[in-house]
Structure formats: structure tokens, C-alpha cells
Amino acid sequence: MKDFVPHIFSFCRKLKVVTAKLMVLAVAGYLCLNVKATQAAGISSMRVGQGVGSVRIVFDADRKFDYKVFLLSSPKRLVVDTFNVPVSPKIEKQLDNNNLLSDPRLGTVGVDGTRIVFDLKKPVIVKKAFMLAPQSNFGWRFVVDVAIASEREFASKVGSKYALSTENAFAGSYSSSKSSKSEKSRPANKKKIVVLDPGHGGKDPGAIGYSGVYEKNITLAMAKELKTILEKEGYKVYLTRSSDIFIPLRDRVKIARKHNADLFMSIHADSAVNRSAKGLSVYTLSETASDKEAAALAERENKVDVVAGLNLLEHSKEVSDILINLAQRETMNRSSEFATFMVQEMRKSVKLKDNTHRFAGFAVLKAPDVPSVLLEMGYLSNRTEERLLKQKSYRKKLAESTSRAVDKYFDNMQHASVF
């Protein structure tokens, strides 16, 4: 038995060495797998935003990479070639109900490239393609913007010779090293444009208050107060009228579009047979009014004007029809976002009507490409609210709340512009 003891100890020593080696190999293998997994991450996901007649595609990645973006015809396709970066197959099923693009499919190009192909439902042109360096909670992002176009415009840009690539990237692209320089080269604080529309005017007095005050005078006073506050905040502000004149409702929309408004607000004061009715409300567009009261109010505001179409002559009929459809949906969403901020801010300082955010078919809210709301400041038919609305201090309170809502809206839109 004693003769076996040395052999047993020798065997155990060898077993420990083998076990240690196995553990080292296992750890090494684990690390290698993790390195490979990290290297393989590449483009991990894709997000798509529907704009007004446009689509923004954002690819999330863990590194910077080379790219080439171009159009092909027969059938119409958008091609995105990426090089030296893996692409997750997860991006292939993310485009339900998109108006311009189908789900992408993946292929290969060359020895180190992945080809991402989108079938096009409408003719488009590629507006931008650029990389965004990591910032905040985001890693690297590759952005492609396409916009709806005519058949002729599409045909003129088909082929790889018109590609946007790493070498000839859109001028607006930037990386972290170029960011501060490009920011300095831009005009400081490019002003957002807000158009304020004091309701009624001239031959149309609007509602007549408890003591006989005219709505047209209250709305003009409020618009001027709000204009002053917004301009101090750095906004460019236009009024559809700055005096007691009559402007048809559709012309008010045209004024907003002429100034390329980023936001349009029509300002009104309500009235009701029931003199106890009171409270502020905010309306956005809906062809089907949210309730009978909203429908009656919409009809009352619209009857002073003949319904007319918007001027879209600068586009072909096909493009105009698509733009109107896309823009109306996008604009209604943005209008609702602003209305939400309005309600949040107004609630802090004034009496609100139940179901404050309402929907109606107001003519002044029908610009297809300008987010628009209609503010009913309160009831002139209510003795208390009429007295308040006649006071400059109360109107200033409303204007300050509105200004805060405007700030929140544009801050939110800026954050969402590259998501």
C-alpha cells in the first residue's frame, strides 16, 4: 500500500495542473467569445421616423463605418451599403405601415460589405446621409433622410454615381471632433417662427361679452401681449392682423404658410347661452368633432368664410396628394403635442374647462404643414371671465403660460429631430 502513496500524490498534482490548464483555456475561450461578440455587434437596430413627405432612417451602431447610399430603378429601391461592420438581421422587420419604404432585406456587397435594400412605394430622392458621433445616451448613429419626389426627380438620381458616401457625405454631417466647429459656423439661435392669429376683426366682432365687449378686441390685445413675450424669448413672431380688420379664415392659413411658420395659434374667446359656462380650452384639428359643442363652435367660426383649397401649385398633383396626406397626419400629431403642453402650463394658473384638449374642424387649423392650435381663453358670456379677460394682468398670465408651452414644444421637437 505504501508503494502506491507516491503515485497517488503524483496523480493528484498532474490532475491539478490539467484542471488549471482547462480553467485557463475556458477563461480564454470565454474572453475570445466575448471579444467576438463585441466585435460582431455592429449595427444592432434601426428606427424609422415619418416626417412631412419624408422618412428618416436611423441605424444604431457601436462604431463608425463607411457607407454608400443610392437609388435603383425597375423596381424602385433605396440601397444602403455598409462596410466593415456586421448588421443584425433584427432590422428586417421594423417598417409596418410606412408610406414610402418596405421592410429592408439584407445581402452582401464585396468581401466586407452588407447591402441593405428597401423597396420604394413612391419615388424619392436621398436628401442626406451622415454619421453622428456618440453623445448623451446614444452610441454611433448613421442617419439617412429621403424625401418624396416626382418621377422625373427620381429618375435623375438613379444609379451609384449619385451615391452619398463617406467620401462625399452631406455637408451637414458631423462627428464629435467637428461638432463644435460646425455649431459655431451656423447663425446663432436660428429663430423659430410663430404666427399668432387674433380671431375675428373688422365687420366680424366675434362673441359679444356679458357687458358688451367684443371678442375681436380681446383677441387682438392678447395676441399683442403674447407677441411681446415670445419675441423676448427669441422667437420670430407675426400677427395675421395687427389692427381691427377682417381677414377671411383661409387667408389666415395662407399668412402662416407665407411666413413658413413653425407653429400657428389662433386666439379666441368663447360664449354660451348658459352664462355660468366658464373655462379655457384648446382645440386641434379633427374632421369629426369630439362632441356636439365642439362641432357647433367649429361651424360658428367657419361660416364667415367660403371653403377653399390650399395653394399647392408648386407640386405635381401626384406629389401634392401624397404630401397633403402625410403632412396632415404629421401636423395633427405635432399639434396635439403642443396642445398637451398648453394644457399642462395653463392648468398651473387658470381655470380650465373639462376635457380641455378638444377636437373640431376649424378652417384655421387646416394648414397641412403647420402645427396649429386654437385657444379659447374663456367665456365672454360669463361675467367673471369677461372681467378677467379685459384685464391686462390676466392676459399676461395667459401669455406667460403659453410662452412656456411654446418653449417646451420646440425643446421636445429638437430632441426628437434625431432620435
Q: Residues 148, 124: contact at Cβ < 8 Å? A: yes
Q: Residue 8 has what pLDDT?
A: 44
Q: Show the cell assigned to 174.
A: 458631423
Q: Residue 81 has what pLDDT?
A: 95
Ramachandran class of 52: left when φ > 0, alpha when ψ lies in -120 to 50, beta otherwise: beta
113-123: pLDDT as tens digits: 999 999 999 99
Instruction: Tell me if domain 42-175 and domain 193-417 are identical in fold.
Output: no
Q: Residue 268 has what pLDDT?
A: 95
Q: Residue 67 has what pLDDT?
A: 95
Whether omega before 368 lies within 30 degrees of 0, making that bond cis, reads no
Q: Residues 91, 45: contact at Cβ < 8 Å? A: yes
What is the Cα gyration radius of the chain? 30
Q: Residues 198, 252: contact at Cβ < 8 Å? A: no
> From the DSSP assignment, how many helices (H) and strands (E) are in the chain?
9, 15
Q: Residues 156, 70: contact at Cβ < 8 Å? A: no
Q: Residue 297 has what pLDDT?
A: 60
Give domain 193-417's CATH superfamily. Zn-dependent exopeptidases (3.40.630.40)
Ramachandran class of 234: left when φ > 0, alpha when ψ lies in -120 to 50, beta otherwise: left
Q: What are the domain boundaries of the chain?
A: 42-175, 193-417
Q: Show the cell assigned to 196.
A: 399668432
Q: Residue 320 has what pLDDT?
A: 54
pTM here is 0.55
| DSSP symbols for 371-403 | -EEEEEEEETTSHHHHHHHT-HHHHHHHHHHHH
CA distances from 45 to 68, 85, 147, 349, 355 (A): 18, 13, 22, 43, 39
Q: Which contiguous run of DSSP H or E holds residue 165?
A: strand 164-165
Q: Residue 295 has what pLDDT?
A: 59
Q: Residue 290 has what pLDDT?
A: 54
| pLDDT per residue rounded down to tens, the chain (419 residues) | 445 445 444 544 544 444 444 444 444 454 444 444 444 679 999 988 877 678 889 999 999 999 999 999 999 999 999 999 999 998 877 666 678 888 899 999 888 899 999 999 999 999 989 988 887 678 899 999 998 888 888 999 999 999 999 877 543 333 333 333 333 333 333 589 999 999 999 999 999 999 999 999 999 999 999 999 999 999 999 999 999 999 998 899 889 989 989 999 999 998 888 999 999 999 988 766 555 555 566 666 554 442 233 344 444 556 555 555 555 667 787 888 899 999 999 998 888 888 888 888 887 787 777 899 999 999 999 999 999 999 999 999 999 999 999 999 988 765 455 44
Q: What is the CATH number of domain 42-175?
A: 2.60.40.3500
Name the phi and psi angles at 61, rounded to 5: -140, 170
Q: Residue 187 has what pLDDT?
A: 37
Shortest CA distance to 239 belongs to which of 191, 194, 196, 193? 196
